[in-house]
Amino acid sequence: MPRVKDNAFIINKTDYGESDIIITLFSAGRGKISCIAKGAKRSRRRFPGSLELFSKVSFNGFIKHPLALTRIDECQLLNPYLGIQDELKGYLNGCYFLEIINRCAAERQHNRKIFELLGDLFTFLSAVPYNRNFNCRIRLFELQIITLLGFKPELLSCLNCGLKLEEENSKDRFFHFSPQSGGIVCKQCRKRHPAAFTVSQGTINLLNQAHRLDNELRNKVNFTPQVEAESARLCRALLSWHSGCSFKSLKIMEGFLSRSDDLSTLIPDNVNKRNNLNKYGVKQ
Ligand SMILES: [Zn+2]
């Protein structure tokens, strides 16, 4: 039975029976792994507050069978990223990214870059009030994660006929994005892609450049509302196509944000703690 010792982020958790917890980790060495923490609800010594969503932990366990849940014996907290729960925007966007990883990342497939990106993302979401260009940075994280998952969209030429973006007549500024094909199609080829939707050339150019930005430039870049909206639509359509379903976290986020920019004062902290809810009334 191979032993496992690694660092990981908690990306999902579900109570199981009276004392166990089933958790999904994204680990540095083995990617996404589904695990069971036996007796986790009773043992504060082996699991000292270390099984909360977004937490970075160091864990020990073993793999009994390649298809079975990895058994976690001990889990120590390295960073709880508590700031994520301080702001509605940070928490809801964090849940969206957790759902992306839960639905789209392959089980037990090493991907160190996704592990590192989660660290950068959770650090960013922990400090929402201090971040400029929040929505733009979220779009860039979305694009990065899509690329690291292997879904990088083809945005340089028509996937059907090969027409290059720069060859298109300047009057025909709109290409169309086809989620099924994972890229753009030109005006003439659009009829073969009924689900394709228009994306402006400006957005396509910016997204092509975004792949090449370093961390310093990511902090400075800003999108217009049109680019931001088109980028979000493109990335979400691509993710829905690959995962085969729409994202629950997006529906929740859209519902919350349409009602208020900040619901943090609606639910007193002591009530939430008593009911094991976070400050937005969502069960932890
Ligand atoms: Zn074409």
Enumerate the domain spans of the chain: 3-131+247-274, 165-235
pLDDT of 271: 40
pLDDT of 112: 97
Mean pLDDT to the nearest integer, 107-127: 95
Mean pLDDT to the nearest integer, 56-80: 90
- pLDDT band of 202, cuts 50, 70, 90: confident
CA of 173 to the centre of ligand 1 (A): 14
Q: Which residue has the higher pLDDT, 2 or 270?
A: 2
CA of 165 to the centre of ligand 1 (A): 10
Asked if pLDDT for residue 219 goes beyond 90, the answer is: no
Mean pLDDT to the nearest integer, 245-269: 70
**Among residues 152, 135, 149, 127, which one has the least CA distance to residue 26?**
149
DSSP 8-state assignment for residue 5: E
Asked if pLDDT for residue 178 goes beyond 80, the answer is: yes
- pLDDT band of 68, cuts 50, 70, 90: confident
Spatial strand order of the sheet with 197-200 comes to: 183-185, 174-178, 197-200
Asked if pLDDT for residue 209 goes beyond 70, the answer is: yes
Contact present, 54 and 44 (Cβ < 8 Å): no
Mean pLDDT to the nearest integer, 4-18: 94
Mind listing the pLDDT tens digit for each residue in 80-115?
A: 999 999 888 899 999 999 999 999 999 999 999 999
Q: Which residues pair with 61 in a beta bridge?
A: 4, 72
Asked if pLDDT for residue 263 goes beyond 60, the answer is: no
Q: Using a pLDDT cut of 70, give the percent of the chain over it.
A: 88
pLDDT of 262: 46
CA of 138 to the centre of ligand 1 (A): 31
Question: Which tokens hold the place of 83?
Answer: 């700031």
pLDDT of 50: 76
**Mean pLDDT computed over every residue of the chain:** 86
Mean pLDDT to the nearest integer, 112-141: 92
CA gap 210, 237 in Å, rounded: 19
CA of 217 to the centre of ligand 1 (A): 33
pLDDT of 281: 46
CA gap 168, 226 in Å, rounded: 21
CA of 197 to the centre of ligand 1 (A): 14
pLDDT of 27: 97
253, 248, 221, 225 alpha-carbon torsion, rounded to 10°: -60
Question: Which runs of consecutive H residues, i.e. helices, occur in 149-214?
Answer: 201-210
pLDDT of 131: 76
- pLDDT band of 277, cuts 50, 70, 90: low
Distance of CA 276 to the CA centre of its chain: 24
Contact present, 88 and 263 (Cβ < 8 Å): yes
CA gap 11, 94 in Å, rounded: 10
Mind listing the pLDDT tens digit for each residue in 142-177?
A: 999 999 999 999 998 999 888 887 765 545 556 899
CA of 126 to the centre of ligand 1 (A): 43
Quote the pTM value: 0.86
Angle between helices 248-259 and 88-104 (to 10 degrees): 170
* Range of lowest pLDDT (9-18, 127-136, 181-190): 127-136
CA of 15 to the centre of ligand 1 (A): 50
- pLDDT band of 275, cuts 50, 70, 90: very low
CA of 216 to the centre of ligand 1 (A): 36
CA of 166 to the centre of ligand 1 (A): 13
- Answer CATH for 3-131+247-274 from 3.40.1500.10, 2.40.50.140, 3.40.50.150, 3.40.50.300: 2.40.50.140
CA of 182 to the centre of ligand 1 (A): 14
Mean pLDDT to the nearest integer, 135-143: 93
